[in-house]
Structure 1
Amino acid sequence: MVEYCQAKEEDAPEILDLSLKAYKPNRDLGINFAAANADEALVEKNIKENICFYMKDGENIVATASIRMPWSSHAGPYEVPHIWWVAVDPEYKRKGYASKLLDHVENDFLKEKLHCPSVSLGTAKKHPWLTDFYKGRGYQMVGEADLGKGHVTVYFEKLLNAKSHKRR
């Protein structure tokens, strides 16, 4: 039975363990995402300052994703919520958990509860599969920046609610 939960501070050790395992391929590619080299303090900070969801299948946490809000200390590049720290436990890869969790975040939370017009996210331009994954989910590239992390970040936006969307 799949369950979506908002993380609490006591969930930090499990989310850290999942994140480090999930982001190992990114470390191997030399892509320096914050979550790839996280420690428990960073996970706790993410839980306290952002909206951190996790997905359980039975008793196991199988995926996590967070939302940085426009008013947070680490806001995204645009004035809309920004998804980051998406991770799936490697033992549960290729079962659609990332898509299910993102559907929950995008539709059930951001669109239905918060009535957000759109959402952004970013990934490394040179990442071999994430840009295609996000494009396949309806995200459109809207910009890029060199944030000094050793790669160029590509930003994407997905329209959630056309009636309330205002173009920049």
Structure 2
Amino acid sequence: MSFRLMTDKDIPAYQALLHSAYQATTQLGIHFAAATIKQSQIAEHIESNAVYLFEKDGELLSTLSIRFPWGNNPGPYGLPHLGWFATDPRYKGQGYGNALWDFVEQQILINQLKLPAVTLGTAANHPWLAQTYINKGYKKIGQADLTPDHTTLYFEKILNHKSYTEWKKRSNKQ
């Protein structure tokens, strides 16, 4: 088992995973961009964002993106924003998604990037995603009507309270 950053050669497998994993959400009437993403859009996405993969025996099991404020699709709060979290439905409930999430949060966001906080968004009408993020320590900070089929709920998780306080002081002065 390994965690790694996505490369161009992973695009076809990544696209297949996203389409498969987001099919259930589409059946709920919620249309996330990842459900129908094209390979050209994925190539653009990985140019300015970090996409982490979890593989086992060379097979892609789970994925999580970090959208940067300076990237092509920044989150709304000036912080890195998590998205396109998906696990191959054949492996649902086996902990692979949680393992990747924990790796990205601890090793990348906290230890490597030293982030004060991170944000994410999900559909308000999704039956369990908001509660999943709350259980992971995220707190609701806002919402927006970005698409006709759902309201997006935004969540934030403070990763380092001291640097978060300093960041908030600086951002409020601007």
Query: Normalising to structure 2: TM-score of the pair?
Result: 0.92
CA shift for structure 1 position 158: 0.6
Q: Which residue of 2 aligns with 1:32?
A: 31
CA shift for structure 1 position 144: 0.3
In structure 2, the gaps of 5 or more residues are none
**Distance in structure 2 (CA, Å) of the matches to 1:141 and 1:96:** 24
**Distance in structure 2 (CA, Å) of the matches to 1:101 and 1:128:** 22
CA shift for structure 1 position 59: 1.7
Q: Which residue of 1 aligns with 2:72?
A: 73
Q: Which residue of 2 aligns with 1:164?
A: 163
Within-5 A mapping of 1:1-168:
2-166=1-165, 167=168
**Distance in structure 2 (CA, Å) of the matches to 1:145 and 1:158:** 18
Q: For the Cα contact (< 8 Å) 1:32–1:149, is it kept in 2?
A: no
CA shift for structure 1 position 97: 1.4
Rate the CA distance shift 1:9–1:149 in 2: closer, same or farther, 3 A: farther
CA shift for structure 1 position 84: 0.4
Q: For the Cα contact (< 8 Å) 1:56–1:62, is it kept in 2?
A: yes
3-state DSSP of counterpart to 2:110 = helix
Q: For the Cα contact (< 8 Å) 2:138–2:156, is it kept in 1?
A: yes
CA shift for structure 1 position 134: 0.5
**Distance in structure 2 (CA, Å) of the matches to 1:13 and 1:80:** 29
**Once structures 1 and 2 are overlaid, which stretch shifts more, 10-19 or 95-104?**
95-104
Q: Aligned Cα RMSD in Å?
A: 1.1
**Distance in structure 2 (CA, Å) of the matches to 1:106 and 1:96:** 15
**Distance in structure 1 (CA, Å) of the matches to 2:12 and 2:58:** 15
Percent identical: 40
CA deviation map 1:121-145 (0-9, x unaligned):
0000000010111011000000000
CA shift for structure 1 position 41: 1.3
**Distance in structure 2 (CA, Å) of the matches to 1:6 and 1:78:** 24
Query: Normalising to structure 1: TM-score of the pair?
Result: 0.96
**Distance in structure 2 (CA, Å) of the matches to 1:50 and 1:137:** 22
CA shift for structure 1 position 149: 4.2
**Distance in structure 2 (CA, Å) of the matches to 1:89 and 1:53:** 14
Q: For the Cα contact (< 8 Å) 1:141–1:156, is it kept in 2?
A: yes
Q: In terms of Rg, which structure is larger?
A: 2
**Distance in structure 1 (CA, Å) of the matches to 2:128 and 2:140:** 15
